[in-house]
Structure formats: C-alpha cells, structure tokens
Amino acid sequence: MSIDQVKVAIRDVADFPKPGIVFKDITPVLQDASVFRMANDLFYERYRNQGIDKVAGIDARGFIFGSVLADRLGCGFIPIRKKGKLPFDAHEVSYDLEYGSATLELHVDATGHGDRVVVIDDLLATGGTAAATVELLNKLECNVMEVAFLVELAFLGGREKLGDVAAWAPVVY
C-alpha cells in the first residue's frame, strides 16, 4: 500500500461547510481498514524512535489518529478540547477561524515540564487551531516536538502560524 492510496481515499465535498469551500473528507480513509492502518502506520513510523512522552490530539478527528499513535508508542494521550468539554481545571486559548472564532482547552495537569509532545490532527488548513494548541501546550512548559497532520492544504499557508514548531503531513494539496 502507498500514500497514494490514502490520498485517493480522501473525498472532496464541494460547498461544505459553506459555499466556495471544498472540504477534504477523511471518512473513507477511516472506513477502509487497510487504508486506515496505512494512515496510522505513517504516523507511527515517523515518531516511533523519537522518545515521545505524550501525544496531543485536537478535537475531534485528531483524537482518532492521536489515540492510536499514543497506544502504539506506549505513551499517554492528551485531548485538546473545545471550550466547555473538560471536567477539571483547564487552560484555554481563543483564536480566529476562517469563518468565526473558537476556544480550545487543556487540563492544567495534562503533561509535565519538559515532556516531549507531538500534536496530531487530521488536516492543516489556515493553522489557527494548531497554533492555539501549541500555545496551550507551551503553558505547561512541555516540548512540542512537531505538529502532524494526515493532510495539508499548503495553498492556505497554515505552517506560517506555527512559528518555530515544525509541521509534517504526508498528503499535501
């Protein structure tokens, strides 16, 4: 199996969530066991020898790939949630989206000082959500090693919002 099989499985949905946007739907990747395994193998092969202490997954599709990666690496998983979804004391960061604003939260005890953390999400678009996630994790003084995505929409320039934190994505449009 190749990365091309993962890319072919990603479906374009026109005019979602609003007119003029072409949504990259990863549902077909999730529905096909061999393609889903390949996508997860890509993340695992990249991070298996990097001494990762925690994997942070961004709500909600980052939970899918992030929790699988954390299990394979034998490390903890950190859920980065939308505001109001965490039951314990949390840090929060608000940020602007392409069509609105949002707030993310993370438990204050989610990770420790110096922990090596990789952030996982399904798609990098304009980079606002990923940058807010890095800002949250920096509040806990961990080392964000990289922010990884299955798909990157490179033409939107999301990497620029991540500053010095490296981004990686095997499928690039």
> How many CB atoms lie under 10 A from the CB of residue 13?
12
DSSP state of 78: E
Q: Which of 61, 105, 152, 159 is labelled catalytic?
A: 61
How far from each other are the two terminal CA atoms of the chain, in whole angstroms?
20
User: Has 98 been annotated as catalytic?
Assistant: yes
Q: At what angle do helices 61-73 and 33-47 cross, to 10 degrees?
A: 60
Cα→Cα distances 27→19, 31, 97, 109, 153, Å: 21, 6, 22, 32, 17
> Is 61 an active-site residue?
yes
Q: Name the active-site residue from 37, 48, 98, 141.
A: 98
Closest CA to 48 of 76, 77, 69: 69
Spacing of C-alpha 44 from chain mean position:
14
Catalytically annotated residues: 61, 98
